[in-house]
Amino acid sequence: MINELELLNLAHEPVVPVELARRATGFILSSATHSLVLPPERAIPVADWMAALFEVQDTLMVPSGDHVRD
């Protein structure tokens, strides 16, 4: 999903396709970690989707004890 959004971002596409927006919204809402999701009647720029998904990804990628430095 992040790759698909990044391709749209690199192509300077201003609008997220409906199916991708639906999938991203479901993912973001299911993780309950980001407040960027807006009501469906508002268009959300691709860059905002990217920011939200990277934030969710960062919360899921917690380093293990072996990789934590003091």
Model confidence pLDDT, tens digit, residues 10-48: 899 888 899 998 888 887 776 555 555 545 556 778 888
- Residue 66, both tokens: 């072996």
Task: Please write the tens of the pLDDT for every residue from 42-68.
Answer: 677 888 888 888 888 877 776 655 555
d(Cα 58, Cα 50) in Å, to the nearest integer? 12
- Report pTM: 0.47
- Residue 53, both tokens: 């998904």
